């Protein structure tokens, strides 16, 4: 894999924080080292699971620095840039690139409604602000806008817009994107879109919150898919699915952080207003992780 060709399992890193919201740098460094030793193919700090929409720039900058330093070139780092303003996103993207990342993942929660024209202008401007590869990210459940196929098509004019992580779970729309733009945009699966299926239609990898707690199992699924052992991959996917049901029921970052605590990484609670997993949630999660072989 070339330095700028991303492929495989990229854990969506949690951001370890103490009760006051301060970065726990050593825990983050340890987690990065642990995941690389387990075999992940890259790292994505500051995505949804990384609680990027809740963090200020100082915490985000320090997070990137720690991840880049700990990864030490062993795997590519694709860091999230999360900003609703175009000026802010441009500035964050440029500063993020300077910190030594290999790529950028763009998030934009949004507020007022946006036309395709405005969406395209925003991401075009961010892409032009850096020279590294851009992974477009969209999660319509938590945003006030979404990419149309037409907007994505226009954005492929930008030579460094190379990847898309489309977290919608709307499998028909994903098929339309893949059949229309799959030759030009490489697709990363999220979890809710079911990676098994995304691999089958050509996804190059999986940017995944769960991969923080089940890195080995995620790699196993990716490799079965890479070798076109689809029935084996389907069994692995089904076996892992109860973890997703838990995310739906108890909230994503609370589950991942609680799972990592069970595995010995004191990553702390999610940032309020999110809340820590309660006793019932911990019980359910622990049982699922045991069944999957992750505890």
Q: Applying CB under 8 A, which residues contact a second copy?
A: 20-21, 48, 53-56, 84-88, 108-109, 111-115, 117-119, 121-122, 125, 142, 144, 169-173, 175-176, 178-179, 192-194, 196-197, 200-202, 228, 230-231, 234, 237-238, 241-242, 244-245, 248, 251-253, 271-275
> Could you tell me the smallest distance in angstroms from the CB atom of residue 295 to a second copy?
20
> Could you tell me the smallest distance in angstroms from the CB atom of residue 130 to a second copy?
17
> Could you tell me the smallest distance in angstroms from the CB atom of residue 145 to a second copy?
9
Q: How far apart are CA 256 and CA 198, in angstroms?
A: 22
Nearer to a second copy, 75 or 260 (CB): 260
Q: How far apart are CA 48 and CA 218, in angstroms?
A: 18
Q: What is the total residue count of the chain?
A: 295
> Could you tell me the smallest distance in angstroms from the CB atom of residue 122 to a second copy?
4
Nearer to a second copy, 47 or 76 (CB): 47
Nearer to a second copy, 26 or 117 (CB): 117
Nearer to a second copy, 100 or 169 (CB): 169
In contact, 88 and 96? CB cutoff 8 Å:
no
Query: Residue 54 half-sphere exposure, CB side, CA atoms within 13 Å?
Result: 20
49: nearest Cα among 194, 193, 209: 209
Integer angstrom CA distances of residue 214 from 23, 40, 241, 288: 23, 10, 12, 11
Active site residues: 137, 165
User: Which residues face 135 on adjacent strands?
Assistant: 105, 163
């Amino acid at each position: 894999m070339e330095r700028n060709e991303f492929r495989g399992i990229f854990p969506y890193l949690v951001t370890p924080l103490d009760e006051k919201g301060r970065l726990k740098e050593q825990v983050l460094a340890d987690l990065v080292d642990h995941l690389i030793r387990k075999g992940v193919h890259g790292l994505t700090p500051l995505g949804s699971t990384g609680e990027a929409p809740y963090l200020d720039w100082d915490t985000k900058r320090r997070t990137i620095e720690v991840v880049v330093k700990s990864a030490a070139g062993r795997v590519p780092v694709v860091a999230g840039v999360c900003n609703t303003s175009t000026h802010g996103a441009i500035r964050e993207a440029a500063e993020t690139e300077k910190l030594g990342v290999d790529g950028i993942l763009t998030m934009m929660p949004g507020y007022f409604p946006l036309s395709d024209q405005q969406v395209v202008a925003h991401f075009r401007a961010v892409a032009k602000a850096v020279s590294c590869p851009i992974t477009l990210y969209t999660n319509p459940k938590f945003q006030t806008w979404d990419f149309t196929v037409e907007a994505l098509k226009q954005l492929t004019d930008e030579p460094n817009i190379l990847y898309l992580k489309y977290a919608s779970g709307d499998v028909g729309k994903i098929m339309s994107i893949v059949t229309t733009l799959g030759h030009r945009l490489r697709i990363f699966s999220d979890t809710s879109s079911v990676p098994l299926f995304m691999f089958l239609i050509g996804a190059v990898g999986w940017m995944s919150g769960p991969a923080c707690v089940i890195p080995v199992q995620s790699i196993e699924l990716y490799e079965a898919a890479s070798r076109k052992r689809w029935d084996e991959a389907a069994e692995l996917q089904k076996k892992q699915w109860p973890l997703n049901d838990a995310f739906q029921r108890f909230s994503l970052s609370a589950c991942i952080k609680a799972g990592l605590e069970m595995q010995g990484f004191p990553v702390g609670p999610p940032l309020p207003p999110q809340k820590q997993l309660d006793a019932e949630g911990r019980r359910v999660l622990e049982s699922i992780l045991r069944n999957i072989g992750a505890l």
